Amino acid sequence: MLCALPRRLYSPAQTRELDRIAIEDCGIPGYQLMCRAGRGAFDLLCLRWPAARRALVVCGAGNNGGDGFVVARHLLRAGREVQALLLGEAEQLGGDARRAYDDFRAAGGTLVDAGEVDWRRAEVIVDALFGSGLARPVRGAAAQLIGEINGCAAPVLAVDLPSGLDAATGSVLGVAVEAEATLTFIGCKRGLLTHQGPDHCGALFCDDLDVPAQVYAAVEGAVRRVDADSFPELWRPRRRASHKGSYGHVAVVGGAPGMLGAAQMAAGAALRVGAGRSTVVTAAVNLSRANGHMPELMSRAADDAAAAGEALRGMDVVAIGPGLGDAPWAEDMLGAALASGKPLVVDADALNLLARGGSRRLDGAIATPHPAEAARLLGTATAAVQADRFAALRALQQRYGGIWILKGNGTLICDADDCLLVDAGNPGMASAGMGDLLTGSVAGLLAQGLPPLVAAAGGAWLHASAADRAARRGGMAGLLATDLLGELRRLREPRIAGSGSGCGRC
């Protein structure tokens, strides 16, 4: 049955193991699971497009195609007009997929050839071409068929995942279906929620197919999706006797000529997520303007490493990178920050300096690269990072230590043990200064005594969720980083446990 989007996310190999346990250990016949999947997809189709009378169901030769034939059978029985297309020959079908095809034929269904499909008549398309086992680029007739699906005006429901999308990484394998909605089964695949996955999935739904809880207990998800209920520490009410010293002092080191605003925004975000005090540590030439963005900010001048070290001595957390630049002054500031012994949040130009400087480790720090910065740190191309964001994130952590936040569509967070995913956020965040607010948000939570992984993941979730709230108020185009500041404050209000959307069962 349909369930809330799960917190546990799985690799393709893990989802296959879930299937195996359900079938072999729990005694649920594979064809019964296939029928549940097809019925679930049919129900979702009727719910989202109740007026659609003419459906095109595109099936592959594997079990994903079998799910499609179950959908087609239910559509026929509901009195809908169905065109069913099989990529390949019916003689190639075997096992449960063959049985689903035979039941479809017994219900009066017939196949149409690719050249006979009337794409203009379709009012809804069901994509059941490829499942999570696809691991090579889509070519030939399959690629052409996906092109036809994407060129059709009818909405698309993807069964389990959009065909052509890598369920492990969220990368497109040559070409992939662009669905309006996707219904995934038993285990939510991690690739659906990062990189190109969300653009191809559309609205994402999950159906656990009524498998027992013991199935999930046997397989630990590779990634955890975070939501509001993931961080109970964030929502603890403040004591009435507290004061600004109770919530930490953040220093943001940065603001090279022409880039002071980046440090100001980071420092402002630290206050908006609840830090007690926030200071911009910048070059003396900037001092007269260092708190102009927000009068509540403090400022300290530091023109060399010694002055920076003195300025950082009384701080609880140091964030370095926003507007830092790459001049010798920036190198001095980075050296002082690394030598300070304070909890660190490292971003932007500080990461570029680290990439240029070799193998300095960041044990105990939190780093927040975007894909291009991650590529520099790994000595590879941005495209290689995006091709497998999970692998790139793990490589960063293993090489440099610490906690890493890989920004982007489906932001990822990891330490040595855990990998987390934030599926909030929107394209309006593709504007200047957004990363600076993330740096400040993480530093502000860290200053309040939250555990580093909670500060990293909680800051990323607050940042993305604030952007979603701001976009709902005023749209995505033209969204400014500073539009998020008020939303960060509103999101930090204590809330009742259980207000999140995650499914704790699966």
Q: Are 349 and 330 in contact (CB under 8 A)?
A: yes
Structural tokens at position 404: 């890493």
pLDDT for res 158: 98
* CA–CA gap between residue 446 and residue 309 (Å, rounded): 20
* CA–CA gap between residue 386 and residue 384 (Å, rounded): 5
pLDDT for res 177: 98
Q: Where in the chain is the domain with CATH 3.40.1190.20?
A: 228-491
CATH code for the structural domain at 228-491 = 3.40.1190.20
Residues linked to residue 421 through DSSP beta bridges, in sequence order: 225, 412
- Distance of alpha carbon 358 from the chain centroid: 29
Q: Are 194 and 393 in contact (CB under 8 A)?
A: no
pLDDT tens for each residue of 318-346: 999 999 999 999 999 999 999 999 999 99
Return the amino acid letter for 264: Q
pLDDT tens for each residue of 465-495: 999 999 999 999 999 999 999 999 999 987 6
pLDDT for res 311: 97
Sequence-distant (6+) residues with CB within 8 A of 155 are 48, 49, 124, 125, 180, 181
pLDDT for res 3: 81
Alpha helices (runs of H) in 210-272, residue ranges in sequence order: 213-217, 260-272
Closest CA to 268 of 428, 455, 483: 483
* CA–CA gap between residue 277 and residue 275 (Å, rounded): 6
pLDDT for res 2: 82
Q: Are 405 and 413 in contact (CB under 8 A)?
A: yes
Q: Where in the chain is the domain with CATH 3.40.50.10260?
A: 2-222
Q: Structure pTM?
A: 0.95
pLDDT for res 289: 83
pLDDT for res 123: 98
CATH code for the structural domain at 2-222 = 3.40.50.10260
Q: Are 280 and 290 in contact (CB under 8 A)?
A: yes
Strands (E) in 208-304, as ranges, are 223-225, 249-253, 277-282, 298-301
pLDDT for res 501: 55
Sequential pLDDT tens for the chain (506 residues): 788 899 999 999 999 999 999 999 999 999 999 999 999 999 999 999 999 999 999 999 999 999 999 999 999 999 999 999 999 999 989 999 999 999 999 999 999 998 889 899 999 999 999 999 998 999 999 999 999 999 999 999 999 999 999 999 999 999 999 999 999 999 999 999 999 999 999 999 999 999 999 999 999 988 999 999 999 999 999 999 999 999 999 999 999 988 999 999 999 999 999 999 999 999 999 888 877 778 999 999 999 999 999 999 999 999 999 999 999 999 999 999 999 999 999 999 999 999 998 778 999 999 999 999 999 999 999 999 999 999 999 999 999 999 999 999 999 999 999 999 999 999 999 999 999 999 999 999 999 999 999 999 999 999 999 999 999 999 999 999 999 999 999 999 876 544 455 665 66
